[in-house]
A and B are shown apart, each in its own frame.
Chain A
Amino acid sequence: DVKVTQSSRYLVKRTGEKVFLECVQDMDHENMFWYRQDPGLGLRLIYFSYDVKMKEKGDIPEGYSVSREKKERFSLILESASTNQTSMYLCASSLGGLNTEAFFGQGTRLTVV
């Protein structure tokens, strides 16, 4: 079974803290994604990576950065967490090329207080 694993299911952080959300996939997928999901706003793409060290901004990259040093791991970084970054964060991966089926992790519910 393809597995996309997010490091935490629930996280509480303080305003101004640096926050790392980690995502690991075990299927040698080329593409990895970070989304946030908020009620009424649906799933919004933050960042996308199609190869190691490669990244593309999604629809809402402001306040976030990403790191992909190894193929299997894609990290989302909140340099200085703010309360408006309280959200559900979802990571996904896909093989790429003709095979575009994406697999999602279970999500990390981040609360910034």
Chain B
Amino acid sequence: DAKTTQPNSMESNEEEPVHLPCNHSTISGTDYIHWYRQLPSQGPEYVIHGLTSNVNNRMASLAIAEDRKSSTLILHRATLRDAAVYYCILIPFGNAGNMLTFGGGTRLMVKP
């Protein structure tokens, strides 16, 4: 199974952009790149996903490298409420169901 590598923690100042990196050098052609985040004392929540092209939604942007071996989650203006653990996950499409397996994630700390 393709694995992802993320830094254990990152720090950001409030109101500044945050770039959260993820390496997935063994990604296969049918793997979707997903990002989830987990706020304190809550279950994880979906943030964004993509396959090859960059993606934007109301929460964040996802920039995917041309060779798909890495991706970056971009929070355009960090707020204190964005302090969470962010998980980068590869989900293979085409198998029976879509198994969702988490790695260690990046703990984002946001300073006022």
Asked whether, in the complex, the Cβ of A102 is within 8 Å of the Cβ of B96, the reply is: no
- Among A4, A30, A42, the residue within 8 A (CB) of B103 is A42
Secondary structure class of chain B's binding surface, majority of residues: loop
The answer to whether the Cβ of B21 comes within 8 Å of any Cβ in the partner chain is: no
A96 touches B97 (CB 8 A): yes
Q: Which residues of chain B are within 8 angstroms of A30 by Cβ–Cβ distance?
A: 97
Q: Which of A4, A49, A100 has the largest count of B CB atoms less than 10 A from its CB?
A: A100
Encode contact with B along A6-32: 1 for CB under 8 Å, 0 otherwise.
000000000000000000000000110
Interface size class of A (residues with CB under 8 A): 20 to 34
Bound CA span A30–B107, Å? 31
Contact: B100 with A102, CB < 8 Å?
yes
Shortest Cβ distance from residue B39 to the other chain A in the assembled complex, whole angstroms: 11
CB contact between B99 and one of A44, A48, A54 (< 8 Å): that residue: A48
> Do A42 and B100 have beta carbons less than 8 Å apart?
no
A residues 28-56 touching B (CB-CB < 8 Å):
30-31, 33, 35, 42-45, 48-51, 54, 56
What is the interface of chain A, defined by CB distance below 8 A to chain B?
Answer: 4, 30-31, 33, 35, 42-45, 48-51, 54, 56, 58-59, 90, 92, 94, 96-98, 100-107
A and B contact pairs by CB, cutoff 8 A, 28 listed: A30-B97, A33-B100, A42-B105, A43-B44, A43-B87, A43-B102, A45-B102, A48-B97, A48-B99, A49-B97, A50-B97, A51-B97, A56-B99, A58-B99, A58-B101, A59-B101, A90-B44, A92-B44, A92-B100, A94-B100, A96-B98, A98-B93, A100-B34, A100-B91, A101-B46, A101-B49, A102-B46, A106-B42
